[in-house]
Structure 1
Amino acid sequence: MDTDIKCLSCGETIRGRKGKKFCDVYCKSSYQYQQKKDKSPDFYSKVDKQLKTNRKLLREYNKAGKSTVRADILLNQGFDPKFFTHYWKNKKGDVYLFVYEFGFIKRQENTRDKFVLIKWQSYMG
């Protein structure tokens, strides 16, 4: 009852118990890694990646605690304003969207879209 079962990872003939799929733990690990890598990223990975990109850009363009940046500059570098972690509403009713500790609000100045960038302050909490 000798059947030639091949390892799913390397294709070598498997020796051992019936039903075995891999020749060793390294092939099993390699196969599972490749399967995960070949899959399209799941929803949470996409969201996490976009939040990290947004935070990086907001931090990069807001070194002083408050600044204004043209919207096209951020958008061309991969910023997506639909991805944020929380919001804060000031006394005037303006709603700032935050990506962790960095916030933004879209404004229009001289027919140009801009983002006003701020950093989270203790009084906002």
Structure 2
Amino acid sequence: MAKTCLECNEKIIGRSDKKFCSDYCRNAYNNTINKDSKNLIRNINNRLRKNWRILETLNPEQKTKTTRTKLIQHGFDFNFFTSTYTTKAGTIYYFVYDQGYLPLEDEYYALVKRES
């Protein structure tokens, strides 16, 4: 019985355990299968990257203060962050990779950079 490619249904020549006739068909098949999950991950990573760039732009000195309005004007989305850090006093810092922010009073935010 001749095996056929899972992507293009062409006859496969070669090893008995081959599933695809070429690298192109293998890549096309796997890209089709993983498309939905990759779109979700890509969109989240894009959002995180944008948030990181905003924090980096507004925090050139490694520690500064800004307003919620300024963050929102730049397109910052408070729903996307990579981790949190809780101090012994119970203060919660939100981090996007190494750039972080701390909500303060009157819609102000302290921006910090985590040391490596």
Q: TM-score, normalised by structure 2?
A: 0.62
Q: Is the 8 A contact 1:14 1:21 kept in 2?
A: no
Q: How does 1:105-116 map to 2 (within 5 A)?
A: 105-109=102-106, 113-116=107-110
Instruction: Report the Cα distance in structure 1 between the residues aligned to 2:114 and 2:17, rounded to whole angstroms.
Output: 57
Closer/same/farther in 2, CA of residues 84 and 47 from structure 1, 3 Å limit = farther
Q: TM-score, normalised by structure 1?
A: 0.59
Counterpart check, 1:61 vs 2:58 = yes
Between the aligned residues of both structures, percent identity stands at 25
Counterpart check, 1:117 vs 2:111 = yes
Q: Is the 8 A contact 1:54 1:78 kept in 2?
A: yes
Return 5+ residue gaps in structure 2 as ranges.
Answer: none
Deviation at 1:57, TM superposition (A): 2.0
Deviation at 1:12, TM superposition (A): 5.5
2:24 aligns with one of 4, 26, 32: 26
2:11 corresponding residue in structure 1: 14
1:87 corresponding residue in structure 2: 85
* Count of aligned pairs between the two proteins: 113
Return 5+ residue gaps in structure 1 as ranges.
Answer: none
Root-mean-square deviation (Å)? 3.8
